[in-house]
Structure 1
């Protein structure tokens, strides 16, 4: 009889694991507690717009996520730059940029940084020195995770100006926290992998399809075509053992499986896994949570020609043109992405409207004179875990002491930050462990 694998959780890590297990010829059941798939990356409809719950981007170095899209046939749904170029709006109302040349790493960034208008020349030299030292760090060294990136930067000559205009600009976007709060190990991984080690790694990819069309529905279609059972509104309350197999308790039902992939958030995983898995609530609770807030504005007419831009010294962190992706036929739809958004998590929408409409008008002069037709806010209170020092020892490996029970999720020990790429990598590894274990058991 074909072995049966239950994948608990229909987010990106669970869908990745399920697709690979189905391709391996195993019988797969996906059990999602909510009424939709997608986990932390999903789309919804609002006033005729298709809205993603957050603005998710990828870099060329996110190879596993791109491989998933190739598997699903949606790789063309992402536009990746030929060369890294990040437009940046400054407090003075000017547009500068960080960009790379066609040269080898790390020289590919030298010319762009030398012209970076958000920093005076002396501070650009400070950045060069710190970047050279950063290349010498090994992100896999567990000692790095005990220190903050901000402390390391201070020891290497960085000042408030370089923090605001460069290090925090990237740290907040990639790690959902400022440099002073970030794990040095994770920061070293981000800066080395994306910017310093390989010339084209940081080329930015922006989806031109809603997430629902990019990987959620395609993954469901892919699984159904391989006879997988995909079930929403099916929360798993407990995972028990039944001899060599597993007994999953659902509401009013029990399901038997030969192996289980637990691809749910950390607190839920600790709640449903057997004690032998070693996943205590105290351990995963130490990971904490960090929010991301998105501000959505629709204008009567286009107010910028930029597809996206970052900002310096502004409450607006990133702006993305979502007009075509959302299906808007007239005007322009801009989404403001706010990471490390503790300040805005409980701020009333009326107050945010006052702040961000004024700020968009300052940064984009046409926005100041163009009426808006819609303004709304979406908030992900637990968008990522808090990627601070000491979290590496809290992130569990995918294999557990229970044979056949594996973990998946961007919060597990992937070596990557809490991102879509980390989620896909975790799902890939979980499927690999399960398939290997089943083959070994059959032998």
Structure 2
């Protein structure tokens, strides 16, 4: 009889685990407590245009995610806009990586920063060379701010801080330098195309969640949306596991760390405590409608300040999606969540008005309307130095997956997909 595997959670990690387990010949049952799949990278259930719970990015180095998309029938080139990394400000100035060998491309991009002084360009070049010589490793106790403390303030403000908050969703003052360097190594120096930005031009649901569910259904998986697992217990004579009194041979918990901690509290209290101890950081995304408007580039880095919360803005029209739709993203958004939705909404709309430009030269200043501000309050774990994340193995036949599980990446789509695939690799073969 084909062994039964339960996957709890249909976020990107759970979908990756379910597809991998099905491919390996297991009979998979996928549980998802929400009405739709996708977890913390999902499309909203209703509304037109179809909005996502946040503006997510992929990069060319996300090999596992791109491979999974192709496996379930999605052509990444059709649903993602690929462009060389360009960290441009609202005036169109900034770091532009040209094609070619990554080390040479990065060096050329730095030296092309004509608005920087010679000393600023030299400082970043020397720092990058030092990180490469150290094989992108540093003391586990260092923060990104400490790692980059000797760099000029403009270099930190225009390059280091935006990259840090975009990759780790953690401010440089508290973010892990070790994880930051690992991301830099894979993103900027892993090979041609690794640093390319892959910006969704279709709703997130169409990138993976919906195609993966369709693939799983075609391959015989049992899909249970809107069903929260209430209990997890060892099976009779410690053989297998029972989810709400239903027997399974093996289980992968790919749900939130909070749910996983709840389900394992009486089974593996130490593991449960580590999962429950993860601290999280919110992300705010404001969707703004402004017909006849544009940004200086499809994605721009914004000047963050006391009354300017967003660090990045995206022009959906320039991405080949909805014309006149813009997304402003606030990473590390705890202070703005604490200020409340009214203050956040007003500040984001004001910031949008400052960066939006007429679509055509000499045109009228566009009028912006705030469609929605979406707060994902547990968007990512707080990626701090020396963070101890729970392991993938919980007990015999009980595994965990998710971007919060121990691994080399911060809370990213690639980290989630790799974790799901790794958990499936740990299953006993059918």
- Structure 1 length-normalised TM: 0.88
8 Å CA contact retained: 2:43, 2:52: yes
2: CA distance, partners of 1:119 / 1:409: 40
2: CA distance, partners of 1:127 / 1:220: 45
1: CA distance, partners of 2:320 / 2:198: 17
Is the alpha carbon distance of 1:182 and 1:413 closer, same or farther for their aligned partners in structure 2, counting shifts above 3 Å?
same
> Matched residue of 2:373: which SS?
strand
Q: CA RMSD in A?
A: 2.3
> Matched residue of 1:95: which SS?
coil
Q: Are 1:386 and 2:370 counterparts?
A: no
Deviations 1:2-44 (A, max 9, x none): 1000001111101111011112221100111222211111111
For residue 282 of structure 1, what is the aligned residue in structure 2?
273
Q: Are 1:377 and 2:373 counterparts?
A: yes
For residue 265 of structure 1, what is the aligned residue in structure 2?
256
How far is the alpha carbon of 1:318 from its aligned partner? 1.0
How far is the alpha carbon of 1:197 from its aligned partner? 4.0
Q: Are 1:78 and 2:75 counterparts?
A: no
> Matched residue of 1:43: which SS?
coil
For residue 101 of structure 1, what is the aligned residue in structure 2?
98
Is the alpha carbon distance of 1:370 and 1:45 closer, same or farther for their aligned partners in structure 2, counting shifts above 3 Å?
farther
> Matched residue of 2:426: which SS?
helix
Unaligned runs of 5+ in 1: none
How far is the alpha carbon of 1:404 from its aligned partner? 1.1
Deviations 1:129-160 (A, max 9, x none): 11111113356x6x732221211222xx2133
For residue 41 of structure 1, what is the aligned residue in structure 2?
41
How far is the alpha carbon of 1:326 from its aligned partner? 10
1:34-433 map, 5 Å: 34-45=34-45, 47-76=47-76, 77-81=78-82, 83-89=84-90, 94-117=91-114, 119-138=116-135, 144-154=139-149, 157-242=150-235, 243-250=237-244, 254-273=245-264, 275-277=266-268, 279-304=270-295, 306-313=297-304, 315=308, 316-323=310-317, 328=322, 332-366=324-358, 369-391=365-387, 394-400=388-394, 402-433=395-426
1: CA distance, partners of 2:45 / 2:36: 13
8 Å CA contact retained: 1:35, 1:232: yes
8 Å CA contact retained: 2:44, 2:52: yes
2: CA distance, partners of 1:53 / 1:313: 21
Is the alpha carbon distance of 1:238 and 1:52 closer, same or farther for their aligned partners in structure 2, counting shifts above 3 Å?
same
2: CA distance, partners of 1:36 / 1:326: 25
Count of paired positions: 421
1: CA distance, partners of 2:192 / 2:132: 13
2: CA distance, partners of 1:137 / 1:263: 35
> Matched residue of 2:293: which SS?
coil
> Matched residue of 2:184: which SS?
helix
Unaligned runs of 5+ in 2: none
How far is the alpha carbon of 1:207 from its aligned partner? 1.3
> Matched residue of 2:140: which SS?
helix
> Which consecutive aligned stretches of 4+ in structure 1 deviate over 6 angstroms post-superposition?
324-327
> Matched residue of 1:389: which SS?
coil
Once the two structures are overlaid, the 10-residue window that deviates more, 97-106 or 19-28, is 97-106
> Matched residue of 1:180: which SS?
coil
1: CA distance, partners of 2:320 / 2:255: 28
How far is the alpha carbon of 1:85 from its aligned partner? 2.9
